[in-house]
């Protein structure tokens, strides 16, 4: 892998996140977890390149993102769709879903990512906040997406490094 500036990326953020999906990962090589996500975004905030992600309270990965100062976003080619589907439907509490998905964890900065990823973004946490039901302007959307009131926790992370597979 080689490093590039976030400003050098040519990938379409909508394609990356909504159609390709990503793995949100946090922890150390010895103690980590990951989850598939198709919600989030990339942009500029506070004069920094950032990624923002959303994690529901019942997700095992939440405790890892909460406990560590950094997280990674890993993006894969279409050949890894099954692995991403598995990491989004099976909990790391119940099994070693990373091994079952055929993925190899590797250190990336002060977090972890996967050897098979075509691109990895390392992110330093800057901000976290729970989605607040009182802030919804479109109440119908809130009722549709959160029928059980399990509101996501949002994290904003500065993209500190981007690595692309050679």
Q: 111: buried, middle or exposed (CB in 10 Å: 19+, 13-18, 0-12)?
A: buried
pLDDT (tens digit, 9 = 90+) per residue, 77-100? 889 999 999 999 988 888 888 999
Average confidence (pLDDT) over 52-81: 96
**Predicted TM-score (pTM) of this structure:** 0.95
- Domains of the chain in start order, with CATH, are 2-164 (2.30.110.10)
pLDDT score of 148: 95
For residue 101, give both structure tokens: 């998905």
Q: 153: buried, middle or exposed (CB in 10 Å: 19+, 13-18, 0-12)?
A: middle
Considering only CA atoms, give the Rg of the chain.
15
Contact present, 99 and 142 (Cβ < 8 Å): no
pLDDT (tens digit, 9 = 90+) per residue, 97-152? 899 999 999 998 789 999 999 999 999 999 999 999 999 999 999 999 999 999 99
Contact present, 83 and 102 (Cβ < 8 Å): yes
pLDDT score of 90: 87
pLDDT score of 66: 97
Contact present, 119 and 51 (Cβ < 8 Å): no
For residue 120, which of 129, 107, 138 has the smallest C-alpha distance? 107
pLDDT score of 95: 86
pLDDT (tens digit, 9 = 90+) per residue, 21-43? 999 999 999 999 999 999 999 99
Given a cut of 90, whether residue 1 has pLDDT beyond it is no
């Amino acid at each position: 892998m080689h490093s590039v500036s976030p400003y050098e990326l040519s990938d379409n953020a909508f394609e990356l996140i909504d159609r390709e999906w990503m793995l949100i990962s946090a922890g150390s090589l010895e103690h980590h977890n990951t989850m598939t996500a198709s919600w989030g975004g990339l942009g500029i905030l506070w004069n920094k390149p950032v990624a923002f992600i959303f994690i529901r309270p019942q997700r095992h990965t939440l405790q890892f993102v909460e406990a560590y100062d950094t997280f990674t976003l890993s993006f894969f080619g279409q050949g890894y769709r099954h692995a991403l589907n598995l990491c989004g439907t099976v909990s790391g509490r119940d099994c070693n879903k990373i091994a079952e998905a055929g993925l190899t964890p590797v250190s990336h900065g002060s977090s972890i990512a996967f050897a098979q990823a075509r691109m990895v973004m390392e992110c330093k946490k800057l901000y976290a906040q729970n989605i607040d039901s009182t802030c919804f302007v479109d109440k119908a959307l809130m009722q549709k997406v959160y029928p059980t009131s399990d509101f996501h926790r949002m994290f904003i992370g500065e993209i500190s490094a981007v690595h692309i597979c050679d």
